[in-house]
Amino acid sequence: MKLSKRGEYALRALIDFGIAYELGRPLLKIGELVEKERLPVKFLEQILTQLRGAGYIETKRGKAGGYFLAKPPKQISLGQVIRLIDGPLAPISCVSVTAYERCTCPDEAHCGLRMLMLDVRNAIARILDRYVLGDVVDITLRKMRRDGVTIPFMVEKLLGPSVPAHGSPSFVEHFPLGGFLAELEGAKSAGKAPPARKPAAKGKGASKK
């Protein structure tokens, strides 16, 4: 799996919408997203149209209009968003669950590359299907407040200045420093971790991998 620019911009925009939602200012104008993320406006408009068509965001017309999340961040699966934009998570088609295509290998059952890529697909899906947009938003806001970073979209004027926490964040050796899972461990140790979520049950409505 390789996240495309379209997928990257979609996730960055959704995280911004999620931050605004959590801070009580859910409606954002496209100009605010363009300014914060430094994204090309025409490309962003196309992405927002796709997200709206899939039911992730809605629009409000008029002078005071803009874009907003159509559902709470806790109900938006990261894996589903990436599949919408970039297709199956599997790095090669012969390990995809619902978009399977046989490769040119003469003995698929004993192909070492396929076995390796199967584990890669499962590891990717295990993270992206376990955590939701709300988890990423929670960890992002936690780290920004801890580091004394200005909260975007002028909401800091409503909340007051952020105060950086003393000391270093919790770090677990097998998680990369600065990564989402390392920050999640720090939140757990502070008693503020988002609840663990089980992967969605597989069946007729199972999402693509």
Model confidence pLDDT, tens digit, residues 45-81: 999 999 999 999 999 988 778 999 999 999 999 999 9
Q: Return the half-sphere exposure (C-beta side, CA atoms, 13 A cut-off) of residue 23.
A: 25
Q: What is the mean pLDDT of residues 178-200?
A: 69
* CB proximity list for 68: less than 8 A, separation 6 or greater: 17, 20, 21, 26, 27, 28, 57, 58, 59, 60
State in Å, rounded, how far the first CA of the chain is from the last one: 10
Taking only the tens place, the pLDDT of each residue in 95-148 is 887 688 888 888 988 999 999 999 999 999 999 999 999 999 999 999 988 888
Looking at the domain 5-75, which fold is it? Arc Repressor Mutant, subunit A (1.10.10)
- State the pLDDT at residue 162: 42
- The C-alpha atoms of residue 100 and residue 208 are separated, in whole angstroms, by 10
- Residue 152: pLDDT band by 50, 70, 90 thresholds? confident
- State the pLDDT at residue 157: 44
The dihedrals phi and psi of 68, each to the nearest 5 degrees, come to -155, 160
Q: Look over the chain and give the mean of its residue pLDDT values, rounded to a whole number.
A: 81
Taking only the tens place, the pLDDT of each residue in 197-207 is 655 555 444 44
Give buried/exposed letters for 187-198 (b at 16+ CB in 10 A, else e).
beeeeebbeeee
**Does 94 have pLDDT greater than 60?**
yes
- Residue 179: pLDDT band by 50, 70, 90 thresholds? confident
Burial of 142 from C-beta contacts in 10 A (0-12 / 13-18 / 19+):
buried
Question: Looking at the chain, how many residues does it have?
Answer: 209
Q: What is the mean pLDDT of residues 137-166?
A: 68
- The C-alpha atoms of residue 179 and residue 166 are separated, in whole angstroms, by 20
- State the pLDDT at residue 102: 87
Please give the C-alpha separations between residue 154 and each of 97, 105, 127, 150, in angstroms, as whole numbers.
44, 55, 32, 8
- Residue 192: pLDDT band by 50, 70, 90 thresholds? low
pTM of the model: 0.75
**Does 91 have pLDDT greater than 50?**
yes
All structural domains of the chain with their residue ranges? 5-75, 87-128, 133-189
